[in-house]
Amino acid sequence: MATEQQLKSLFNTLDTDKDGKVSSNELFLSPGLNAIISAETGISSPQELLVRYGDKDGKITFEQLRQVVQKAGNLE
């Protein structure tokens, strides 16, 4: 379970190009952080996360990620 602040910090670490979105490339470049995202969302595949909850451009914003984590019951 994560706080919103912890989730934001994780998101900012994953968002290496600082465009406000996390892409599949950014998720794959950080397997350890990707594992944390999987644990918090209950979704094992980065592709599945982005397809189900991301934008049409294949990226996910912090707000979208926050909603997925909250839906999974893992946001304090």
Return the CATH number of 4-71, one of 1.10.238.10, 3.40.50.720, 1.10.3720.10, 1.20.140.10: 1.10.238.10
With CA atoms as reference, report the closest residue to 36 among 18, 11, 56, 61: 11
pLDDT category, 20, cuts 50, 70, 90? very high
Cα distance between residue 42 and residue 48, in whole Å:
11
Statement: residue 46 has pLDDT above 90: no
Percent of the chain with pLDDT over 90: 70
pLDDT score of 6: 95
Domain edges within the chain: 4-71
With CA atoms as reference, report the closest residue to 54 among 31, 22, 30, 6: 22
Residue environment code for 14-50, b if the CB has 16+ CB neighbours within 10 A, otherwise e: bbeeeeebbbbebbeebeebbebbbebbebeebeebb
pLDDT score of 32: 84
Name the pTM for this structure. 0.89
